[in-house]
Amino acid sequence: MTAYTATVTVRLKRGVLDPEAETTQQALERLGFELSDLRSADVFELDLDADSAADAGDRAEEMAERLLANPTIHDYEVDVTETA
């Protein structure tokens, strides 16, 4: 068994309203910053022991499907690295 870190990035699908990002962008603009868009995402870094990177990725993907992301409104991405 090897220790892996799986990074799950959960983003809202295109077209889903993101009031938090909108408010953050307006606050930055009020501070004088210029930006054309701002998107927010949630990241979960999971430390887990697995036989291979592929196995760690599969398990992280299952966790994303079952709990971390809501498939109706979210897209997610899984990225696995060996823990240093």
Smallest gap from Cβ 6 to a copy of itself, in A, equals: 9
Asked whether position 43 contacts a copy of itself by CB under 8 A, the answer is yes
**Which two three-digit tokens encode residue 38?**
């701002």
Asked whether position 62 contacts a copy of itself by CB under 8 A, the answer is yes
Q: Where does residue 65 rank: exposed (0-12), middle (13-18), buried (19+ CB within 10 A)? A: exposed
Among 49, 51, 79, 82, binds a copy of itself (CB under 8 A): 49
- List contacts with a copy of itself (CB under 8 A): 3, 9, 21, 24, 27-28, 31, 33-49, 59, 62-63, 66-68
